[in-house]
Amino acid sequence: MNNKVLIVDDDAVIVQMMTQILQEEGFAVVTALEPLRVYDAAKRERPNVILLDIMMPYLDGWDELQLLRIDPETESIPVVFVTAKHGEFDNLPLEKRTQFFDYLYKPFEIDELIAKVRAALSAHLN
C-alpha cells in the first residue's frame, strides 16, 4: 500500500519532528520547506496525503490549496491543514470546509497527528 505523506511547513523543526513521527509509523515522507514548491512537489511525488501549514510566506496554505484543487492530478489528494492559530476553523463557511480533509492545531499530540494522517489516507484509498 502506498502511504506517502507530503509535509509542507516553513518551520524546519516542525517538519523534522513530523517526519520522524510518521516514518516511525511506517509512512513514506517527502517534505517541502518552501511554500512556493507545494504544487510542484505534489505533482512530482504524488502523495496520498498532504500536511499543509496555513501561515507561510508568499503563498499561504489557502492559496496553495486552491492551486491543488484546480488541477485534476492533485484535486483529490486529502489535505490536513496544520496551524498554530487556534480557532481558525470555528466559523469557516461550508464552501471552504469541503475543500480540505481535516485540520490539526500546533502544538499537536503525536497520536492525533498519526490518527489524522491515517484517516486521510483511508479516505483517499476508498
In the chain, the number of structural domains is 1
Distance, in Å, from the CA atom of 41 to the CA atom of 20, rounded to the nearest integer, reads 19
Q: Is 35 helix (H, G, I), strand (E, B) or coil?
A: helix
Q: Is 38 helix (H, G, I), strand (E, B) or coil?
A: helix
What are the pLDDT digits (tens) for 64-82?
Answer: 999 999 999 999 999 999 9
Q: Between helices 61-69 and 38-45, what is the axis angle to 10°? A: 40
The domain of 92 spans 4-125
Distance, in Å, from the CA atom of 116 to the CA atom of 105, rounded to the nearest integer, reads 11
- pTM score: 0.92
CATH number of the domain to which 49 belongs:
3.40.50.2300
What are the pLDDT digits (tens) for 15-47?
Answer: 999 999 999 999 999 998 776 678 888 999 999
